[in-house]
Structure formats: structure tokens, C-alpha cells
Amino acid sequence: MSKPFIEQTGKPDSSSEPAAGKASSAKEFLTDKDLSYKPFYEFSSFNYVTVDSLGKIVAANSTSMSNLGFSEEELAGKPILDIFHPGDREGVAERLKTSFENPGVEYRWEARKVKKDGSVIWARENAKTVRTDSGQVFTKIAGEDITQQKLALSMLSMEKKVFETMAANKPLYRTLDLICSEIEGLANGMLCSFLIVDESGKRLRHGAAPSLPAEYARAIDGSEIGPSTGSCGTAAYRKEPVIVTDIETDPLWDDYRHLALEHSLRACWSIPIISSEDKVLGTFAMYYKEPRSPVPGELVLVDTAVRLATVAIERTNAQEMATHFAEILEEAINEIYIFDAGTFSFLQVNKGARDNLGYSLEELREMTPED
């Protein structure tokens, strides 16, 4: 006898057969009252899914199928948890278990779902377990797509964290690492990395890659910029995005293919990070462990990541340049004085001038040339 969906693990028994073979057999799980509303369910803008006691999908309306990208045949008999993001499955399983144990009581959640193409959407859903006229028990799930609202909030939250990190003068790698982690949390299976153009302008150095295999990250550190040097080197060379949907077959990866495949990396899209002066600062790459193309929702994430990284890298470069300039001034043989244009008070006085005058910088900043 098959185990019920509500066994103590809170997970469906994947070895059990679905209660219904096709989602079209609506009369097998709809009550008489439900049947009168079937056209509303079918063509509603809301998602409607019905799950049996084994946690298998037995019905889904056209909106659900359209939003997820699956056909009726693909969804029929599919474990309901399979369409949820791995990070949210445990929570959804627990709520479904509780719903099944308490027929007639409505339970709510917000969770991520994974579409057939691998992209992620957010849903706000209600679940209620009911008993049909024939005595069968099913859980009905109704929900709406809230992806745009969630994405907007997530983008604002990420920007806040990134700017707080920069304001705290954390090292650049900390900011880039944060951007990678935030983007990876919003996409399913995406592994992000940043590479930074070195001083020679000919190579890319490691910037951040929190989820890529460390051995692979080390191997590509210092990779060349050129017309056929993987996704990142080529993107930096062309100054335009490079989308490689299958590393195993794309000629751009001839010199790096073995490195990627050794770590099960199959797709890589790279976007150049370009400064306000049209100079390539680095690249932002997205890896996947299966051949695939980007979808519109992922491109929004990429644009945000590149924009934030541009600000962070340019800020760091400006700080380093200012520090270098200050060091040159400090060690200059000639006496150098920098004044405030309005008050004529000293802003900066180099070592040579301070030694000649016999005052410290702090003392001079309280004075003017007239003193």
C-alpha cells in the first residue's frame, strides 16, 4: 500500500503512482459545486493546481501551465515539490502536510518556482484540502505570480547592501562577492564570477567567485583578453556580451574547454563591465551546469549586477588613484601647498614644506598663509 503524502518527513513518496493519469480527468477530483466553476478555474488569471494525497499533480489550469512552461502531459503525475525552488521545498512540504492533516483549513505561503526553462518565478499561494463526493482527498492550490514585485524588492535590498558595503570602505572583493551571492540567490543554478582587467590591460584577474570550484577559479585567474578566449576574455576584447550556450561545442572555448568540463560547467554568458570613459574594467560571468540560453528575467539580474559592479570598481580605482597621487605629493622634493579656494586655509602641505616651516599638518590646517 502506498504511503500517504503526510508521512513524518513531510515529503511525498516518489515511488508511488499518481492517483490520476491525466489532468483532464477533472470529474475524478472535482466536487459537483466545483464542476460548475470549472470554466472559471481553467481560464482564470490565477494559477490553480490540484494535488493528490501522494503529493502528485492531478490537475492544473492553463495559466499554471503557461506560467511554468510545462504541457498538461508533463505536469500530470509530477511531484508538486519538483516545481518549487530547492531552497523552498522543505517549507512548502511542511505546509502541504499540515493542510492534508487539517481539511477545510486554508494555508498560505510565498515561494519560488522553477520553470521548465530553468528560470525562477515567485508565487503567493493558498492551499486547502477537500474531500470529493466519492471520498477522495485532494489539496487545491490557488495562487498568483508576484515575480515582478519580489524582483523589485530584491533589487532594492541588494543595492542597499552593496552601497552599505562600499560606504564602509570594505575591500572591492567583498563588494563583488556580495553581488555574486545576491544574484545567485535570485536565480536557479546560476554560478557567478567577476574578473578584473589588470594594469597591463591584457589579462583578467580574479575578482570574486563564491560558488565556482576554487580550482577552476584559480585556473582562469590571469586568462588572456582576446578574440577567442572563452566567454570572458572574448567579451572584454569585443566590449560586448558573449553568450555561450554549450561550452562543449563552442569554438570560443577551445583553449579552456577541458577546464570547464572537468568541473561540469556547460554554459557561460559573460558581460563586459565598461567604465563611464568607455574603458573595459572587467567582466561578469554566469555559469550553468547544463547547456542553456538566458531568459529575460535573468538578463534583468545581469544588468543590475554589472551596473553595481561598475560603480564599485570605478570607486575603488578612484580611491587608489587619489592615494597614489597623495603619496607622490607627500614625497615630492619641492614644497607643495594646497589651499581652500574660499578661505585660503591649508588643505594639504607635503613633508618638504612642513619640515621647512616647522609645523605639523594639523597645525597648518588651522592657519592661513598670512599667519
Residue range 280-330, pLDDT digits in tens: 999 999 999 999 988 877 888 899 999 999 999 999 887 766 665 555 555
Give me the pLDDT at residue 352, please. 62
pLDDT confidence band for 83 (50 / 70 / 90): very high
Name, in order, each residue with C-beta under 8 angstroms of 251's C-beta and a sequence gap of 6 or more.
228
Give the burial string for 161-185 (b: 16+ CB within 10 Å, else e): bbeebbeeeeebeebbbbbbebbbe
Residue 283 CB neighbour total at 10 angstroms: 28
The pLDDT tens digits of the residues spanning 350-366 come to 666 666 666 666 666 66
Residue 267 scores a pLDDT above 60: yes
Q: How confident is the model at residue 45 (pLDDT cuts 50, 70, 90)?
A: confident
Topology adopted by domain 26-145: Beta-Lactamase (3.30.450)
For the chain, give the mean pLDDT. 83
Q: What is the mean pLDDT of residues 166-171?
A: 92
Q: What is the pLDDT of residue 12?
A: 40
Q: What is the pLDDT of residue 21?
A: 39
CATH of 152-324, one of 3.30.1490.20, 3.40.710.10, 1.10.10.60, 3.30.450.40: 3.30.450.40
Task: Indicate the domain borders of the chain.
Answer: 26-145, 152-324, 332-364
| Cβ–Cβ under 8 Å, residues 5 and 97 | yes
20: pLDDT strictly greater than 80: no
Higher pLDDT, 115 or 343: 115
Query: Phi, psi at residue 79, to the nearest 5°?
Result: -60, 130
Question: 152-324: same fold as 26-145?
Answer: yes
| Three-state DSSP class for residue 276 | coil
